Amino acid sequence: MAETPENPKEQNAVASASRPKSTSEFGDELSIKMVDIFRVPYFEKMFNGGFKEANDLKAYLPDDGIGTFHLFLEWLYRGALRPADMAKHTTTSGPLFNRVKLYCFAEKICSTELMDYTMTELVALYRKNYKLVSIPAVEWIYESTSPESLLRKFAALSYIRVVSKGVEEKWPMSLVAETLRSSGEPARDVLQLMRSGETGSEPPSMLDPCHFHHHKQGADCPYYEDRA
């Protein structure tokens, strides 16, 4: 399944709890097997409760683009995403940005399972490709997640790395400063991490992914084998 950059303001996803179509048939309406969709408590409550969606067996997700929902379905059916094609990477699209969007979607539907899987993927990809979270991705993260989001923590740690070690050609200090100034939330998180001494000497992608997971510290991680 291709990773398709999308504009969520222009494309809406429609989830219907019925027999699935083949991936080649996915269009504006994306069908999901009931047994699969009930893996996600958000949809289980939606389709199996007293909501309108339970009667219609259809849910509209206007804030999430088709490409993000395709990745969600891929994870739902296969239990994993296909390998990322980093040749398609840019600062505003491609496999890294699409996985950032998938994490934000997972947070919206309260799926810690998908959040932890996606974070493991992100940490591995950023580490393998020697990259930091781009400024457009940071802006997306802070527009789409809660103040307690562990993805925000990852982004804030990336910013600290940019400030201390970033190359001016790739990370102009004027742009970094403007991004921090335009919204108080990134600046607050950066300052809190610096004050707590949790910044470290390495980029956040070098940390154990469990640092950004929701399971208890020291507990067995279901994504241990996905860290490479």
* pLDDT at residue 112, rounded to an integer: 93
Encode pLDDT of 8-42 as tens digits: 333 445 555 443 443 333 334 445 555 567 778 77
Encode pLDDT of 123-162 as tens digits: 999 999 988 888 889 889 999 999 999 999 999 998 888 8
Domain boundaries, the chain: 8-65
90 has a pLDDT exceeding 70: yes
Nearest alpha-carbon partner for 209 in 141, 115, 101: 115
pTM for the full model?
0.79
* pLDDT at residue 73, rounded to an integer: 86
Burial class of residue 38, CB neighbours in 10 A (0-12, 13-18, 19+): middle
More confident residue, 198 or 186: 186
Say which residues have a Cβ less than 8 Å from residue 69's Cβ, sequence separation at least 6.
13, 15, 30, 61, 105
Encode pLDDT of 165-185 as tens digits: 766 667 778 877 887 777 778
